[in-house]
Structure 1
């Protein structure tokens, strides 16, 4: 039953939602049926629906989806950064499990590099999430410098980088899952092809996301050149980070 007064803030209401705080005016006394159907099942469904929609948008149209979000179309989206953190955690877990299976299936390959692997694993266990998530501001600062004509502020570039990076994490996660084919007989070649092609796919995906995000303010040739500059800057900074990590892990 609709209440003429919002039960949350006491504001007079006329429609389905309070114009002051946004709470639904159609409230019910909490009983077991309402608790089970609405508060649990309905809440979980909407959360999962938001997650699936956000992942689909990040994978199929990251640039356009980010601009939609910036323009105010936000109700359908799950928090991109929360979702990225969840995928990063899952990615690190699967990578750890993959290394564990390697010690079982291919112990001879790991004997020579076991100490190095242990150092790398210890380092990534402590700092993996921070290192991966630090790539989001790296994307944002690069795009802020290269694509200035769009006149977006740095925070809005963070939204674009977050959406693109979410797509990157989805592709990386799928690649990691498929890499487990390496432990199946006659499928190791497929796993090797996937492993070698993933970096190229990621670079193309990032380029695609930023191309679509800024195609309305640049000519095709101008935007193509800017995307190349963006990619070169990104690769250069990633090489610097990799070099730094190699030195740091060797010193541990």
Structure 2
């Protein structure tokens, strides 16, 4: 064995453990997304005149890049396209649609219970004076509604969940993936209000169950539907 080959071989042996593979993908994603959004977005915002628009422009580049990196690491470790499960069957499509309905139904139920038990949460009043640039709304819909869910499903359900289910079995593997997915959003967003946190838990569990039952195509359909509807409601 030549000396230059030694680090590559050690890395290959490490990534052959599905737990290590998942940890590397998750740590890389969280670190890169955090740095891009916390350091890169403010810099680009000055150039484009919109913090939200700058965030979406950077995510449009960062998320597909991270998804390709996760897929590449997965292939090195035996989790290739044949294991991502992108079968577009009638069951997968129907499951994805049911997942969208289930997500919003569960959130609505939580909202009703929360209002009756705790009260109506206070909503911060947006500061006036600044108008949203025309290009920001379609960019939000394209990036947050389409690019983000496609990229996240490949990395988080296609690669990470596959690895963790291999390591821990379906129940614990899905739970750990969901927990990591929720934690990623909380870390990158520097926290999460109650309703946001609950929505993250619900979507993480729904997508994890869909991925396990019907494949990543089904969880991607659900994620697309949820993000498009949620983003559309937010920008109206």
Tell me the TM-score normalised to structure 1 length: 0.32
- Structure with a larger share of its residues in helix: 2
Higher relative contact order (CA 8 A, sep 6+): 2
